[in-house]
Structure 1
Amino acid sequence: MIRLSIPLRQTLSRLSLPVLVAAAFGTMLLGKADALLAERARTVLADVLTPFYAAFAQPARAVRDAVAELPGLLALREENARLREENERLRRWQAAALALEAENVQLRGQLAFIPERAPAFQTARVVADGGGVYARAVLVALPPGVEVSRGQIALDERGFVGRVAEVGNRSARILLATDINSRVPVTLEGSRSRAMMVGTNGGRPRLQFWTEDTRPAEGERLVTSAQGIAFPAGLPVGVVRRTPTGGAEVELFARLDRLDLVRLFDFGLGALLPPEAVARPEPRGRR
């Protein structure tokens, strides 16, 4: 039997390839002869093999997704470590802020401090740029019943924008901080030195008239100064940017090129100024 089985296996192995080729050609001829039958056969075969495909595809998909998410997981790990460090730093700042707030309340109680009245404000929408005698100004629409007076301070969500220069029944014109007619007293937060921010009709106002022993530092924050009673103290203005020639300009916090809504604050200072002190128009082309 063993001697007979060996030649039989050899014969079958030699015949397997021709048999498979013949079966393939037969299947092709059958498909050409009867397309409907071939389609049904393919459908039945697909139905039979689909569960196996799904069973094998699930692990392969899981492995592929895991490999694709690996860079993201590594980035998330680094981001998580950074956020933990930042959260810890913010907790320390929060503890320091709470301690300073408690100390501030205690000192105010000892000094019989009277807090200032919160200023009233109105929100207005910018409807036009430029126009009038000013090169850098915007026109805002006022809803019926809203009262606005000259000299009120305009702020956006980031900082100082300008002052109300003209008022009508349904509109008001705001003189921007970059206009050549704008003069804003400011304070350097780092040195507490005072200076004057002067508009240039350009993108950044100039910083002038600071004290000789104090040089504005690059990146130093500026806030409004109460000197001259025209502005309240402490409104955020911008940061110092040094020029190649050694001068100082102000990069404003407010985005004057994309103003949409502004808040007009009434600090009660406009009534203390004569009308001509709010703005003195100069020719539009002058720089």
Structure 2
Amino acid sequence: MIRLSIPLRQALSRLSLPVMIAAAFGTMLLGKADAMLAERARTVLADLLSPFYAAFAEPARAVRGVVADLPELLAIREENARLREENERLRRWQAAALALESENALLRRQLAFIPEAAPSFQTARVVSDAGGVYARAVLIATPPEITVRRGQIALDERGFVGRVTEVGRRSARVLLATDMNSRIPVTLEGSRGRAMMVGTNGPRPRLQHWSEGIRPAEGERLVTSAEGVSFPAGLPVGVVRWSESGVPEVDMFARLGQLDLVRLFDFGLGGILPPEAIARPEPRPRR
């Protein structure tokens, strides 16, 4: 074994500290150089990849937009399907209506049918709820150039309102279908059964005396009947509503509580009201 002399060992110990310090500084400089090289490499790589990032950004943005709009697109799809189904149903109804129109024209030609003249009408303004002996009636203003006669039928833009009961020089009184003195012969459109619509002084008249074996159905449409030659057939009246107490009532098409204008039709049925159209006045207090 080689033994170092004491002076040599002392010299080496004195040299070891500077060497270690120099090695530490060298290591630090090498790490700094590595960090700068790594940063430059990242920068160069980012410059090279940026066009690809830009190219892929648009599809990714489009995909995110599609995902965000997916619920709305699904709703639009469902709406389109519903509209297509409704359109197809309307086409079928149109085809059926055209077929019926053609058939009716053929039958009328075979029967030498003479069409009725279109009824004349005049428009009058409702000025107030009328008093008098009727609980449900309105007063209309009739200028001198308008000829109004007792028995004319009043309608609004939705359906049957009532009939003229009194005529003055500048006004007339219309008895509403909801008055208890009103009697209107009606036809059930679905079953073609006949019934009498009777006013109750309430918002809904009642159905009475319907055809035997035919029960008014909930939601069934009602139109006027020509029975007794007191009303023209086919005027829209309302729909059947069964009350909680089991009584068939009529939900009127006409807005009787919001009348502003009424049209007075002359169907040429005569100027005297028959008993079944308007009963003897039985005044009741307003409710």
Show the 5 A alignment for 1:70-81.
Answer: 70-81=70-81
Aligned to 2:146: 146
1:263 is paired with a residue of what secondary structure?
strand
Match status 1:261 vs 2:261:
yes
Aligned to 2:177: 177
CA distance in 2, matches of 1:98, 1:273: 38
Aligned to 1:204: 204
Aligned to 1:165: 165
1:69 deviation in Å?
5.2
1:7 deviation in Å?
6.9
Cα distance change of structure 1 residues 9 and 242 upon mapping to structure 2, 3 Å threshold:
same
CA distance in 1, matches of 2:127, 2:197: 26
CA distance in 2, matches of 1:277, 1:244: 28
Show the 5 A alignment for 1:209-224.
Answer: 209-224=209-224
Look up the equivalent residue of 2:181 and give its one-letter code.
N
Look up the equivalent residue of 2:170 and give its one-letter code.
R
Look up the equivalent residue of 2:194 and give its one-letter code.
R
1:170 deviation in Å?
2.6
Per mean C-alpha deviation after superposition, the further-off stretch among 211-220 and 224-233 is 211-220
Look up the equivalent residue of 1:89 and give its one-letter code.
R
CA distance in 2, matches of 1:221, 1:284: 29
1:266 deviation in Å?
0.6
CA distance in 2, matches of 1:261, 1:238: 19
Aligned to 1:108: 108
1:181 deviation in Å?
0.9
1:264 deviation in Å?
1.0
Q: Is the 8 A contact 2:181 2:278 kept in 1?
A: no
Cα distance change of structure 1 residues 275 and 202 upon mapping to structure 2, 3 Å threshold:
closer
1:67 deviation in Å?
7.0
Aligned to 1:126: 126
CA distance in 2, matches of 1:271, 1:237: 22
Per mean C-alpha deviation after superposition, the further-off stretch among 95-104 and 235-244 is 235-244
CA distance in 2, matches of 1:5, 1:168: 117
Q: How many residues are matched? A: 242
Unaligned runs of 5+ in 2: 1-24, 37-58
Between the two proteins, what is the percent identity of the paired residues? 76
Look up the equivalent residue of 1:170 and give its one-letter code.
R
CA distance in 1, matches of 2:177, 2:277: 15
1:158 is paired with a residue of what secondary structure?
coil
* Structure with greater Cα Rg: 2
Unaligned runs of 5+ in 1: 13-58
1:274 deviation in Å?
6.8
1:182 deviation in Å?
0.6
1:282 deviation in Å?
1.3
1:104 deviation in Å?
0.6
Aligned to 2:137: 137
Q: Deviations over 1:248-271 (max 9, x none)?
A: 111111121222222111111132
2:147 is paired with a residue of what secondary structure?
coil
1:129 deviation in Å?
2.2
Cα distance change of structure 1 residues 64 and 177 upon mapping to structure 2, 3 Å threshold:
farther
Q: Deviations over 1:87-131 (max 9, x none)?
A: 011011111111111111011001000001110011222221242
CA distance in 1, matches of 2:276, 2:188: 28
Per mean C-alpha deviation after superposition, the further-off stretch among 204-213 and 176-185 is 204-213
1:178 is paired with a residue of what secondary structure?
coil
Cα distance change of structure 1 residues 208 and 279 upon mapping to structure 2, 3 Å threshold:
closer
Per mean C-alpha deviation after superposition, the further-off stretch among 168-177 and 93-102 is 168-177
Q: Is the 8 A contact 1:185 1:197 kept in 2?
A: yes
